[in-house]
Structure 1
Amino acid sequence: MIETLLSPSRIAIVGSLSKETGLGARTLRHLTEARCPAEIVTGAVSEVDVAVVAVPAAAVPEVLTGLDGRAAHIIVVSSGFDEAGDATTLRAEHSRILGPNTVGLHYAPSRSMLTFAAAFDDMTDCRHGSGVVLLSQSGAFGARLLRSARRHGVDYDGFIATGNEHDYSAVELAIELVASDTHRPRTIALYLESVRDVDALDRMLAAARAAEVRVVALLGGASESGAGAARSHTAAVSPDHAVLTELCLMHGAVVVGSDRELVDATVALSVLPSARGGRIGVVTGSGGAGVVAADMLAARGLALTPLSPGAQASIGALLPTYASATNPVDVTAQVIGDTGAVANVRAALVDTGEVDAVLVIGRAEQAAAVAGDHGVPVVLAVLDGDATSVADHVRRGEPVLPSLEAACNAVRALVTGGVDKPATLPEPGTGAMFAAEDTASSARFLAEAGVPVAPWQEVHDVDAAVAAGTELGWPVVVKANLPTLAHKAASGGVRLDVGPDGIAEVATALLALAPSVIVATQLRAGPELFVGVRRDPLLGLVTAAGLGGGHLELIGRTVTVPATAPPEWLAERLRAVVFARAGDRYAHLPDLLAATAATLTGLAVRHDLALVECNPLVEVDSGLIALDARVVAA
């Protein structure tokens, strides 16, 4: 179906064409100026591949009824629906709908400029060849991305704005693009403000990875205000941004944080192959630029590869004695202007076999000479350029970026991460249902399931509390056995460092809050950690892990991934996000957290749990022990 949407042979324009500024008339003008070879129908509609509907919102349902089954695809550019508070959902039984409130689409290879947007007035030449198709839930913003890429020398092959997504979604269109033998792009760029079907996104990302289609995703709604704006703009509640980000990363997609990053990524992917690994080499004529490049790459999760003594010797033989053959390779200001010398250094660096991608900080006219070989892509950064100064180079297939920041964005896009196979979850619902929901039952459930829990006893009176403390050993932690979802610390239901002299008073106070209290061994060991699994109505099961304790929300040092993330991927993300600067002392903690997360995920699946979490966890004897727990049935 995507083939007839993007390359229709017969197109109908439904709406008034008498007013030049009308949406239908502007769409017709674009098709005409683009020399679209399709037959264009402006009268009665019989059988067409695409019908563009540009009528007032109130008239749209009746028009759709007349087109249903006569048009394979109906593009509703009319506005005044979700964004105006109208809850009406447009449907067609025998046709697919794009929109409403869409600016339409543009597919340059077939010269199908099915859009009214003025942003395309100077794009009717239909330049293409980049292998990039942009899918955007915002038409105006997507058109801006398209124009920005064009200024940088990248002519996107296609652009589809999905609008309010009453039928077709950006994710579904991406699935069809990946599956198409004739219209599959090399790169899919996505701007998403909301995702209604996370399973579909998961399938699309997996299919794209398998088909070697790179995905660049800009996800709106990262902040509270951004999420609110997305809701008002698309009338959809954004799922957890962190989980969607991690889902994309798990499948090897490039997740960017701005329109500029998206364009930089697509510049690189339009002219270069992906890197075979994450080992980055830098060649520069300025020590300062090399330092800044190293910092920028590190901020993007890429570290410069230390070169072996042999590699340094082979590179150093090409340089003056006062140059540096370490990484970054500083050829000095005296050499950087010598294109042949820079090209030889780049070649020697690649020949070492110790780098997977190279960033050269030099001059635009050196692009052809320093181009990559042996499957090692090379990005050239100029420090004083702008988009227009590099566009001709990019159109010639030379990856020149107009700033160091842009070049680092490009290098990051070339490095493919992720995993090839998600974790296999157990058969759901095979375990006994969890019934009671309080602190004691949660701890008991986890202990019986094999999750280590600090020694504890549940007691119902003061004498029993004294006896429990004596048996467990002083000091102890005493907690009111409150309902699972109650915040014990906020309710005054947790007391630490309780000794034999204070146990009676503490137990009396806490028994006034709950029918029983928990007396537990007080463990003091290492940092407090956290692992939790929750069931989200949109996202399904998600897993979070990282630093924990009573100030978990304030610390904010956690990673949240889909529950299908393999333990090794969660451990890798924890190392990158939470423990990157922790040193060797805590290098083993990501693996311990990932193993505990896998255990809790299995429990959530088998026992149909809405929530299972351990906070805090501490390390004792090379294993994690839960000091507190919550378990809630679905």
Structure 2
Amino acid sequence: MNKPDLQVPDLRPLLSPATVAVIGGTSKETGLGARTLRHLRQARFGGEVLTPDPRDGLERNVDVALLCVPAAAAQEVLDRIDGRAKFAVVFASGFEETGGGSLTTARGTIVLGPNTVGLYHAPGRAVLTFAQAFDSLVDCRGGSGAFLVSQSGAFGARVVTAAARYGFHLDGFIGSGNETHLDACTLARGVLAAAAPRVLMLYLEGVRDAGTLQALLADAAARGVPVVCLLGGLSEAGSTAAASHTAAVSTDTAVTRELFEAYGAVLVGSDRELVLAGLGLSLMGRAAGRRTGIVTGSGGAGVVAADLLSGVGLDVPVLSTGLQERLMAHLPGIASPRNPIDVTAQTIGDDATLEKVCATLRESGEVDLVVVIGRENQAAAAGAHAGAVPPSVLATLDREPATVRPRIEAGEVVLPDLDSACRVLASCAPPRLSGVAALRPAADGPGSLVGSDPTASESLRLVAGAGVDVADWSAATTVAEVLARGEDLGWPVVLKSDVAAGVHKARAGGVRLDVTAATAGEAAAELLASGVPLIVARQLRSSMELFAGVRRDPQWGLVVSAGLGGVHVELLDRTVAMPAALGAEHLARRLAAELFDRVPGRYDGLAAALAAAAFALADLADRTGAALVECNPLGVVGSRIVALDARVVR
């Protein structure tokens, strides 16, 4: 077989091997094999280590074979050990990433790599890597409960060492490399089962398989393991049809972020944020809410902290009158207990008073997170220790990670600056919206749309047949028919050229608005001169213009977008885009959170109604195999959502 059937591989022999074979690269001190052997020796690896000649294969079975040979020899050596090693870790580069071929196995050996730096697992003291970054990690400190899976080995190794500078020692790391057999998401699922981490950290260079990523996020959510991911390689999604609003507003970035948020996972924007989020979740886990209390001896620092916390999505509520009075019982009259709690410069250095203030705040039930701005030796007074409830962080000002490292290693949550402390707290906040009630199944079969794209009138019929309310309209081929239809529908009307749905009617000059009995003749004659029939539609006066659309994406399948609509849909970008598999209920919750709940009580019911319309379009795309279905605008007319235009593209 070329690729083993691996749903969730058993990684225990890879992470904690009893026998390891280091093959090749041992004759020189700088060889990959020699460097790997040195790591194993310095880490006091407890398993058996073999160093067979690359030309001899293996005389007996091993858990892991580390192929430290050049790319030209890798397949030949792999053939010799195939079936003898449960896992083969191939360090060499020069395969698919440079246009070369891929490695194959036929007798069951599972390949990690090629072009991988290997792996590190502190509990098993398995430093199965040649990377120089791990020279300083052979003590296998671990104990954090954090595990990193990275598609880039070199970058991942740097994240591991960056974390260690804070005193945050990862339990494990795997670089997936070229992913001949094991992609990063499949590896991560194996890590969840074999290592049972408290937090899973990921670096992904783009989403290679949406289904595998979704399976990983669902698995982690079911196990209660927080996921924090740095995702590279995001780009604007290509349009499935010319001038598609749906493609314009449903970028890969937006769709990916929705998937992560649906499962309670965290996307970060930098390697530093990846380390800080992993640190926070490792030490403190999830908080009950987002309400944050600030304790400071400097009013300015409190203001900056409040701004930073707001910037990362946390709330800084004004404390109740009763709590303010209890706090002031410990503070001088010039203090401010509103939140931020400014205990004054003369009091912040008094550990006994600080401890009373922080304890009163934590026990109040009015905050879910606490940040105290003080000295690095005040963690005990601040209550900033691993597992504290609520999670509490001590922020120092303008220190280096090395200065707080001993504190973190001792289980104290002390950060070198305000920004770091606020980001660590933000990682512990509960997801704003998570919990996928039920994944929406995809339709079977290729659908029924064949031939050319439906016309605008055919699109309206298809959308109406899908259950979406459509504004009254009629077809017309002459000026006389336009006038008659206008009388039947009631003036004013909208005239539209009945062109194929792939053509943007407005941009092609095929739309006239506010057409009255007096102007209909001239407008109709001008449009009919092109030889294309017209749609005469009743012009409804809507209180709001909305948008809903579905596109078929090669990665995500059907992608649903909905939000504010009209001619400014791309400019306003007040939309939600997500994989259709997440379902209408999730879309309704997201639309409510992003749009309609901003003015409580005014737009009740609109989120659910718009989500229902969007998923009626998704059902239509499922049934017909359409590449694109969209309604822009959808008008809000009384209590109804009515499609004023529709496009269905084959």
- Tell me the TM-score normalised to structure 2 length: 0.89
What is the aligned partner in structure 1 of residue 16 from structure 2?
7
300-309 or 589-598, larger mean C-alpha shift = 589-598
What is the aligned partner in structure 2 of residue 23 from structure 1?
32
Q: State the 1:378 CA deviation.
A: 0.8
Q: 2:434 aligns with which of 399, 419, 433?
A: 419
Q: Is the 8 A contact 1:614 1:630 kept in 2?
A: yes
**Residue 410 and residue 427 in structure 1: after superposition, are their counterparts in 2 closer, same or farther (change >3 A)?**
closer
Q: Is 1:162 aligned to residue 176 of structure 2?
A: yes
**Residue 311 and residue 612 in structure 1: after superposition, are their counterparts in 2 closer, same or farther (change >3 A)?**
farther
38-47 or 153-162, larger mean C-alpha shift = 38-47
Q: Secondary structure at the match of 2:382?
A: coil
1:191-210 equivalent positions in 2, closer than 5 A? 191-210=203-222
Unaligned runs of 5+ in 2: 1-9, 238-250
Q: Is 1:56 aligned to residue 70 of structure 2?
A: yes
Q: Secondary structure at the match of 1:369?
A: helix
Q: State the 1:9 CA deviation.
A: 0.9
What is the aligned partner in structure 2 of residue 616 from structure 1?
633
What is the aligned partner in structure 2 of residue 529 from structure 1?
546
What is the aligned partner in structure 2 of residue 313 from structure 1?
325
Q: State the 1:275 CA deviation.
A: 0.5
1:367-446 equivalent positions in 2, closer than 5 A? 367-371=379-383, 375-417=389-431, 418-425=433-440, 428=443, 433=448, 437-446=454-463
Mapped to 1, the partners of 2:515 and 2:638 lie a distance apart of 24
Aligned length: 618
Q: State the 1:191 CA deviation.
A: 0.3
1:446-485 equivalent positions in 2, closer than 5 A? 446-485=463-502
**Residue 319 and residue 452 in structure 1: after superposition, are their counterparts in 2 closer, same or farther (change >3 A)?**
farther
Q: Please give the per-residue CA displacement for 1:150-183, whole angstroms capped at 9, x wherever unaligned.
A: 0011000101000111210110011112223xx2
1:193-232 equivalent positions in 2, closer than 5 A? 193-223=205-235
**Residue 385 and residue 592 in structure 1: after superposition, are their counterparts in 2 closer, same or farther (change >3 A)?**
farther
One-letter amino acid of the counterpart of residue 296, structure 2:
T
What is the aligned partner in structure 1 of residue 278 from structure 2?
266
Q: Is the 8 A contact 1:480 1:514 kept in 2?
A: no
Mapped to 2, the partners of 1:364 and 1:356 lie a distance apart of 22
Q: Secondary structure at the match of 2:186?
A: helix
Mapped to 1, the partners of 2:187 and 2:408 lie a distance apart of 28
**Residue 220 and residue 610 in structure 1: after superposition, are their counterparts in 2 closer, same or farther (change >3 A)?**
same
Mapped to 2, the partners of 1:371 and 1:265 lie a distance apart of 20
Mapped to 2, the partners of 1:519 and 1:345 lie a distance apart of 71
Mapped to 2, the partners of 1:522 and 1:298 lie a distance apart of 43
One-letter amino acid of the counterpart of residue 328, structure 2:
G
Q: Please give the per-residue CA displacement for 1:298-334, whole angstroms capped at 9, x wherever unaligned.
A: 2222222343333333333333333222232222323
Q: 2:577 aligns with which of 560, 571, 587?
A: 560
Mapped to 2, the partners of 1:314 and 1:602 lie a distance apart of 58
Q: Is 1:148 aligned to residue 157 of structure 2?
A: no
Q: Secondary structure at the match of 1:178?
A: helix
262-271 or 588-597, larger mean C-alpha shift = 588-597
Q: Is the 8 A contact 1:253 1:416 kept in 2?
A: no
Q: Is 1:303 aligned to residue 312 of structure 2?
A: no
What is the aligned partner in structure 2 of residue 343 from structure 1?
355
What is the aligned partner in structure 2 of residue 275 from structure 1?
287
Q: State the 1:258 CA deviation.
A: 0.7
One-letter amino acid of the counterpart of residue 422, structure 1:
A
Mapped to 1, the partners of 2:373 and 2:434 lie a distance apart of 32
Q: Is the 8 A contact 2:396 2:417 kept in 1?
A: yes
Unaligned runs of 5+ in 1: 226-238
Q: State the 1:15 CA deviation.
A: 2.0
Q: State the 1:469 CA deviation.
A: 2.3
What is the aligned partner in structure 2 of residue 491 from structure 1?
508
What is the aligned partner in structure 2 of residue 176 from structure 1?
190
One-letter amino acid of the counterpart of residue 355, structure 1:
V
**Residue 523 and residue 87 in structure 1: after superposition, are their counterparts in 2 closer, same or farther (change >3 A)?**
farther
Q: Is the 8 A contact 2:541 2:637 kept in 1?
A: no
Q: State the 1:199 CA deviation.
A: 1.6
Mapped to 1, the partners of 2:496 and 2:592 lie a distance apart of 33
Q: Is the 8 A contact 1:456 1:520 kept in 2?
A: yes
One-letter amino acid of the counterpart of residue 12, structure 1:
A
Mapped to 1, the partners of 2:313 and 2:63 lie a distance apart of 45
Q: Is the 8 A contact 1:287 1:330 kept in 2?
A: yes
**Residue 283 and residue 23 in structure 1: after superposition, are their counterparts in 2 closer, same or farther (change >3 A)?**
same
478-487 or 578-587, larger mean C-alpha shift = 578-587
Q: State the 1:470 CA deviation.
A: 2.6
Q: Please give the per-residue CA displacement for 1:88-123, whole angstroms capped at 9, x wherever unaligned.
A: 354454111111111111111111111111111121
Mapped to 2, the partners of 1:224 and 1:60 lie a distance apart of 37
Q: Please give the per-residue CA displacement for 1:404-436, whole angstroms capped at 9, x wherever unaligned.
A: 111121111112224333335367359994566
One-letter amino acid of the counterpart of residue 294, structure 1:
A
Q: Is the 8 A contact 2:447 2:626 kept in 1?
A: no
Q: State the 1:578 CA deviation.
A: 5.5
Mapped to 1, the partners of 2:281 and 2:617 lie a distance apart of 39
Mapped to 2, the partners of 1:395 and 1:266 lie a distance apart of 15
Over the matched positions of the two proteins, sequence identity in percent amounts to: 50
One-letter amino acid of the counterpart of residue 443, structure 2:
P
Q: Is the 8 A contact 2:236 2:252 kept in 1?
A: no
Q: Please give the per-residue CA displacement for 1:573-621, whole angstroms capped at 9, x wherever unaligned.
A: 4455557877875676544433433433344445554332221223221
